[in-house]
């Protein structure tokens, strides 16, 4: 633990990197997967259980928290860590992405964005300055610059103008954030799938100077091949001595492919959201536990998994409680999914310093290709 924010690289293996981010609230081992605690809770989990899966850091959503219960309220109550009972580091997004995906009647102007809440229709405005203020009120350890991001596909002119607006907002975010020892501000690279626009964006961010850099604007519908194509060049456009964060990614193979291309941090709702709809992720791929073939299966999801779900419950039980819409179905599957995601991260963190990342990756893909265990 440290009284300031610092990143150190421990080892690399090709583009893949492992290291640690020190914060006053604890160390984040990279590559790191951040479970999403949208509205002040990782859905279906108690915070202590999230920590047990091996997560070092959570993501909180500025958009959700500003609307309900409100950033000023959380500040009065002592900040988001205390509010949600998570003592470790928290990264908050800027709200920009979710305003555009969830907010109603949104109107973008060069200064910011005005929108109505999807909860109660109330009117709100986000600007780089207000986003910095909200993230400060929440007490976020890692603050994201306020940006704007078009859905893909979009034409090059739209991507370029959006990226340049985001770079202006990045500078305003940096200015508004000020100097806050122990807290970090990350800039967000945009530019869609255009390598030269990505380079221009990276250059603009470097010139402003951030504590870390996100690759933004991916995982918005372009597909894995296009995303990996972008990740073949985008991370190395960013400073090597700062953490690189790929926002909103992804499935297990997306994550492994991103780390293989030099990414240090990721977040995604997938392991939590799928757990609530009967979807499990294992070393051998995806399992839909509601499928009838599991109804009499006494085996766990994954006999090699050490999570409480796999240690205590059969597929038959998970099938039953998921079909019966019992809360425990979402609780156990979410726990398993987050545990498996953290196991992937731990595996990569061990493989990289040993110089065996490629072998680890090959074994990861070999097991997935085998597919789920056959019915009894």
Active site residue 254: no
The least distance separating a second copy from the CB of residue 82, rounded to whole angstroms, comes to 8
**Cβ burial, residue 374 (10 Å; 0-12/13-18/19+):** exposed
Q: Consult the annotation and say whether 307 binds a ligand.
A: yes
Q: Does 39 bind a second copy (CB under 8 A)?
A: yes
Enter the tokens of residue 59: 């993501």
Q: Consult the annotation and say whether 118 binds a ligand.
A: no
Q: Does 84 bind a second copy (CB under 8 A)?
A: yes
The least distance separating a second copy from the CB of residue 45, rounded to whole angstroms, comes to 8
Instruction: Return the range that interacts with a second copy (CB under 8 A); candidates 80-88, 165-173, 255-263, 279-287.
Output: 80-88
Instruction: Return the range that interacts with a second copy (CB under 8 A); candidates 10-18, 77-85, 184-192, 253-261.
Output: 77-85
The least distance separating a second copy from the CB of residue 270, rounded to whole angstroms, comes to 17
Q: Consult the annotation and say whether 149 binds a ligand.
A: no
**Which residues face 26 on adjacent strands?**
23
Q: Consult the annotation and say whether 305 binds a ligand.
A: yes
Active site residue 93: yes
- CB nearer to a second copy: give 327 or 358: 327
Q: Which of 295, 350, 359, 362 binds a second copy (CB under 8 A)?
A: 295
How many CA atoms lie within 13 Å of 268's alpha carbon, on the beta-carbon side?
Answer: 25
Instruction: Return the range that interacts with a second copy (CB under 8 A); candidates 154-162, 205-213, 248-256, 294-302.
Output: 294-302
Q: Which residues of 124-159 are buried (b: 16+ CB within 10 A; e: fewer)?
A: bebbbbbbbbbbbbbbbbbbbbbbbbbebebeeeeb
Q: Which of 116, 284, 293, 323 binds a second copy (CB under 8 A)?
A: 323
Q: Does 12 bind a second copy (CB under 8 A)?
A: no
CA dist 2 to 6, 149, 178, 182, Å? 8, 34, 20, 8
Considering 56, 141, 267, 372, which one is annotated as catalytic? 267
Q: Does 375 bind a second copy (CB under 8 A)?
A: no
- Count other Cβ atoms within 10 Å, centred on residue 325: 9
Query: What would the x/- binding string for a second copy be over residues 220 to 249, using CB under 8 A?
Result: ------------------------------
Q: Does 354 bind a second copy (CB under 8 A)?
A: no
The vertex-359 CA angle with 58 and 237, nearest 5°, equals 55
Q: Does 69 bind a second copy (CB under 8 A)?
A: yes
- CB nearer to a second copy: give 164 or 320: 320
Considering 93, 211, 297, 372, which one is annotated as catalytic? 93
CB 179 within 8 A of CB 203: no
The least distance separating a second copy from the CB of residue 298, rounded to whole angstroms, comes to 6
Q: Consult the annotation and say whether 224 binds a ligand.
A: no
Among 30, 58, 92, 34, smallest CA distance to 262 is for 30
Enter the tokens of residue 190: 């945009």
Instruction: Return the range that interacts with a second copy (CB under 8 A); candidates 24-32, 136-144, 291-299, 356-364.
Output: 291-299
Q: Supply the angle between the helices 128-138 and 156-177 in degrees, to the nearest 10.
A: 50
Q: Does 83 bind a second copy (CB under 8 A)?
A: yes
Q: Consult the annotation and say whether 135 binds a ligand.
A: no
Residues near a second copy, by CB under 8 A: 39-41, 43-48, 68-69, 73, 76-78, 83-85, 276, 295-296, 298, 308, 312-314, 316-317, 319-321, 323-324, 326-328, 330-332
Catalytic residue IDs: 93, 267
Annotated binding site for Zn(2+): 305, 307, 310, 336
Binding-site sequence positions: 93-97, 147, 190, 217, 305, 307, 310, 336
């Amino acid at each position: 633990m440290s009284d300031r924010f610092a990143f150190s690289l421990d080892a690399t293996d090709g583009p893949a990197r492992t290291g640690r981010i020190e914060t006053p609230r604890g160390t984040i081992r990279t590559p790191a997967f951040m479970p999403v605690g949208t509205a002040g809770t990782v859905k279906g989990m108690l915070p202590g259980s999230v920590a047990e899966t091996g997560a070092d850091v959570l993501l909180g959503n500025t958009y959700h928290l500003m609307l309900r219960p409100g950033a000023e309220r959380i500040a009065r109550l002592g900040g988001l860590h205390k509010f949600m009972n998570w003592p470790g580091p928290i990264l908050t997004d800027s709200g920009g992405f979710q305003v555009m995906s969830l907010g109603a009647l949104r109107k973008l102007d060069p200064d910011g964005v005005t929108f109505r809440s999807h909860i109660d229709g109330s009117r709100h405005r986000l600007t780089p300055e207000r986003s910095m203020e909200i993230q400060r009120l929440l007490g976020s350890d890692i603050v994201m610059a306020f940006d704007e991001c078009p859905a893909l596909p979009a034409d090059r002119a739209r991507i370029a103008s959006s990226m340049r607006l985001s770079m202006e907002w990045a500078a305003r975010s940096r200015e508004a954030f000020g100097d806050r020892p122990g807290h970090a501000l990350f800039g967000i690279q945009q530019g869609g799938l255009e390598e030269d626009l990505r380079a221009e964006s990276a250059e603009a961010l470097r010139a402003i100077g951030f504590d870390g850099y996100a690759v933004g604007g991916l995982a918005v519908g372009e597909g894995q091949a296009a995303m990996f194509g972008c990740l073949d060049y985008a991370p190395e456009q960013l400073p090597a001595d700062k953490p690189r964060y790929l926002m909103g990614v992804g499935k297990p193979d997306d994550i492994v492919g991103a780390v293989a291309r030099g990414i240090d941090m990721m977040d995604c709702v997938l392991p939590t959201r799928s757990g609530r709809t009967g979807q499990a992720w294992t070393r051998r791929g995806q399992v839909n536990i509601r499928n009838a073939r599991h109804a009499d299966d006494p085996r766990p999801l994954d006999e090699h998994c050490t999570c409480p779900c796999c240690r205590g419950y059969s597929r038959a039980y998970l099938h039953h409680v998921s079909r019966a819409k019992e809360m425990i179905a979402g609780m156990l599957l979410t726990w398993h999914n987050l545990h498996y995601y953290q196991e992937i991260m731990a595996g990569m963190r061990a493989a990289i310093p040993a110089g065996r990342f490629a072998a680890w990756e090959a074994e990861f893909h070999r097991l997935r290709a085998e597919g789920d265990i056959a019915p009894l």
